[in-house]
């Protein structure tokens, strides 16, 4: 109630939670916190807990009383009148309820359940929400046989619990429902929700609900028409035509949403309870009309060196940190979300995931001198929650010997920067300090740096700036290994690939694969193919053949000869 008094005031927040000071850290926890405080436009400062004496002291004070709560049954207090009237025991609250302002029309009293019901019936947004999420709304009889629409999250899951177990098992059920929806990929979960909402609007355009669609005996005609318009671009988010795999994925996400609601998969054949064969034939036919896939182009080493030169000349801390992450991605075959901060699904390396070695000696990242860190000959990264990894596995690279093209040197410089600016042990490796604020390297930052380098020297390698991006780094490192005649098995292990698709694509482009083949194919010392022997009569000499072709002895010039008149 006092929040308006804080608007316009200059607020300074000192916190020992370093992650809150990263302006472009997009974890759910930080986003929730920022959504709460950013309307006041505060300035954030990181102070270690032991240095913030006042706050640290108050946080360690014992509680004055027992704050434990005895478990109660949800059914005993859920929308109960006793719980409402218990507030009358407070004199101030009682005074508020007894002295409510008089209304011109008592029938419009917001505390009147009949008025609430009438407003709900007249609300188109509520009707649309009930149609979109039918399992989250139910009617509760409150007073005088008046049923009011109530909203409950995960109502279907909570309904399948033992009676009275909602309080004890509710948090666990909600956590499980969230995990099954996300399945480890928050970005895809959001895409599924948007796809289902898009299909709901498609149904509404024909004056039907999703429940009406599920009531159809055959779901294929209507859902396939949606897929066709989605592929043509009428329903796609970008408004342009998409490939068959994109349309297939849209139908898959819609069907999975129905499955999570316990309504079945509309793609299945009711007779066989398997995938309807018409879907398989449809995707197969559409695939023939798709354009060739746009593969990422490997970036030559010369462009990467030019990017490093641009970062050094600029003197910008942001560009220098971006260049360091570029070398980490190149030598460790990293995905963008592993060495940069992406919008969703951040799995970047942290400072505690780094190890530097000199010989067999592991360097202390907190106490080792800067010169000793720069002299490290081996850098190691531990994979914790990255894709296609064995949890806890460690991948390392030795120093390349190059002055700048070295992951070991890049990691050492980044560790020195983080350490000198007081970064915590769990700070992202891709973070950097600028004007007393922490920032994170993002894929667009690396893409811009690479394209600036390509605009200067890309013509030497046939690379246009638009051909490359941060996604090209992984393929660039793999191509460099292929050109160095490294075994494909080793490349798969280093890049954590589980299939040969990427390696097959890179092999075709690798000049090492075809080096010398043309010369060997044209070599005169190779044995020539000998056609099989056939019983043909002896061929006449060239002169006889020429004479017989020009002057046939038994034919006149008007008679046909071998089809020629």
Neighbours of 163 (CB within 10 A): 8
Report the C-alpha gap between 495 and 386 in whole angstroms.
Answer: 12
Report the C-alpha gap between 344 and 336 in whole angstroms.
Answer: 11
Query: Distance of alpha carbon 128 from its chain centroid, rounded?
Result: 29
Q: What angle do CA 148, 149, 152 make, to 5 degrees?
A: 130
- How distant, in Å, are the alpha carbons of 32, 40, 191, 504 from that of 6? 20, 7, 37, 61
Neighbours of 392 (CB within 10 A): 8
The per-residue pLDDT for 555 is 41
- In this predicted structure, the answer to whether residue 489 has a pLDDT above a threshold of 70 is yes
- Highest mean predicted confidence (pLDDT) among 45-49, 257-261, 284-288, 294-298: 284-288
- In this predicted structure, the answer to whether residue 339 has a pLDDT above a threshold of 70 is yes
Report the C-alpha gap between 14 and 37 in whole angstroms.
Answer: 13
The per-residue pLDDT for 329 is 92
Report the C-alpha gap between 153 and 210 in whole angstroms.
Answer: 19
- Highest mean predicted confidence (pLDDT) among 31-40, 337-346, 424-433: 424-433
CATH node for 301-512: 1.10.443.10
Confidence of residue 565 (pLDDT cuts 50, 70, 90): very low
The per-residue pLDDT for 557 is 44
Confidence of residue 78 (pLDDT cuts 50, 70, 90): very low
DSSP string, 110-141: TT-HHHHHHHHHT-HHHHHHHHH-GGGEEEEE
- What digits encode the pLDDT tens for the residues 340-377? 887 665 678 889 999 999 988 899 998 899 999 999 99
Interacting residues of 473 by C-beta distance below 8 A, sequence separation 6+ = 299, 326, 329, 330, 334, 336, 446
Q: What is the mean pLDDT of the chain?
A: 77
Token digits of residue 53: 């004496």
- In this predicted structure, the answer to whether residue 410 has a pLDDT above a threshold of 70 is yes
More confident residue, 515 or 479: 479
CA atoms within 13 A on the CB side of 117: 15
- Highest mean predicted confidence (pLDDT) among 17-26, 102-111, 193-202, 495-504: 193-202
The per-residue pLDDT for 513 is 65
Kindly report which listed range (89-103, 162-176, 186-200, 203-217) carries the lowest average pLDDT score: 89-103
* Boundaries of every domain in the chain: 3-59, 183-287, 301-512
First-last CA distance in the chain: 107
- What digits encode the pLDDT tens for the residues 184-224? 666 777 888 889 989 999 999 999 988 889 989 899 999 99
- In this predicted structure, the answer to whether residue 235 has a pLDDT above a threshold of 70 is yes
């Amino acid at each position: 109630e006092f929040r308006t008094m804080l608007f316009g005031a200059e607020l300074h927040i000192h916190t020992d939670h370093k992650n809150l000071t990263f302006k472009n850290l997009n974890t759910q926890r930080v986003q929730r916190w920022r959504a709460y405080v950013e309307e006041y436009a505060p300035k954030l400062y990181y102070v270690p807990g032991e240095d913030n004496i006042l706050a640290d002291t108050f946080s360690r004070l014992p509680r004055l009383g027992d704050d434990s709560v005895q478990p109660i049954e949800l059914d005993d207090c859920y929308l109960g009148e006793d719980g409402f009237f218990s507030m009358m025991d407070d004199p101030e609250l009682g005074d508020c309820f007894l002295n409510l302002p008089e209304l011109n029309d008592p029938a419009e009293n917001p505390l009147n359940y009949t008025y609430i019901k009438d407003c709900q019936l007249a609300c188109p947004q509520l009707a649309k929400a009930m149609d979109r999420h039918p399992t989250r709304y139910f009617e509760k009889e409150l007073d005088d046989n008046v049923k009011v629409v109530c909203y409950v999250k995960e109502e279907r899951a909570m309904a399948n619990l033992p009676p009275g177990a909602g309080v004890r098992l509710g948090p666990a059920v909600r956590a499980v429902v969230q995990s099954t929806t996300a399945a480890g990929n928050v970005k895809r979960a959001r895409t599924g929700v948007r796809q289902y909402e898009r299909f709901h609007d498609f149904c509404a355009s024909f004056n039907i609900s999703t429940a009406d669609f599920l009531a159809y005996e055959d779901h294929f005609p209507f859902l396939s028409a949606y897929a066709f318009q989605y592929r043509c671009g009428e329903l796609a988010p970008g408004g342009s035509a998409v490939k068959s795999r994109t349309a297939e994925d849209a139908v898959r996400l819609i069907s999975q949403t129905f499955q999570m609601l316990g309504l079945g998969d509309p793609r299945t054949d009711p007779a066989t309870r398997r995938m309807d064969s018409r879907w398989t034939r449809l995707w197969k036919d559409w695939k023939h009309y798709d354009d060739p896939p746009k593969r990422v182009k490997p970036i030559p080493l010369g462009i990467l060196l030019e990017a490093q030169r641009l970062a050094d000349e600029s003197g910008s801390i942001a560009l220098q940190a971006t260049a360091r992450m570029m070398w980490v991605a190149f030598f460790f075959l990293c995905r963008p979300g592993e060495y940069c901060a992406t919008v969703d699904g951040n799995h970047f390396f942290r400072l505690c995931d780094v190890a530097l070695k000199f010989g067999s000696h592991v360097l202390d990242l907190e106490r080792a001198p800067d010169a000793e860190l720069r002299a490290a000959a081996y850098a190691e990264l531990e994979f914790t929650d990255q894709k296609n990894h064995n949890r806890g596995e460690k991948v390392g690279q030795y120093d390349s010997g190059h002055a700048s093209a070295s992951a070991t040197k890049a990691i050492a410089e980044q560790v020195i920067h983080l350490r000198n600016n007081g970064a915590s042990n769990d700070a992202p490796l891709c973070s950097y300090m600028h004007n007393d604020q922490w920032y994170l390297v993002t894929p667009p930052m690396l893409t811009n740096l690479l394209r600036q380098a390509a605009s200067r020297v890309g013509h030497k390698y046939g690379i246009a700036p638009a051909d490359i991006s941060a996604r090209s780094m992984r393929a660039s490192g793999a191509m460099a290994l292929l050109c160095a005649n490294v075994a494909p098995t080793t490349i798969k292990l280093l890049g954590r690939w589980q299939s040969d698709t990427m390696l097959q694509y890179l092999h075709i482009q690798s000049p090492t694969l075809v080096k010398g083949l043309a010369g060997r194919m044209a070599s005169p010392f190779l044995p020539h193919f000998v056609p099989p022997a056939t019983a043909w009569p002896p061929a006449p000499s060239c002169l006889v053949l020429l004479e017989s072709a020009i002057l046939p002895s038994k034919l006149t010039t008007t008679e046909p000869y071998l089809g020629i008149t």
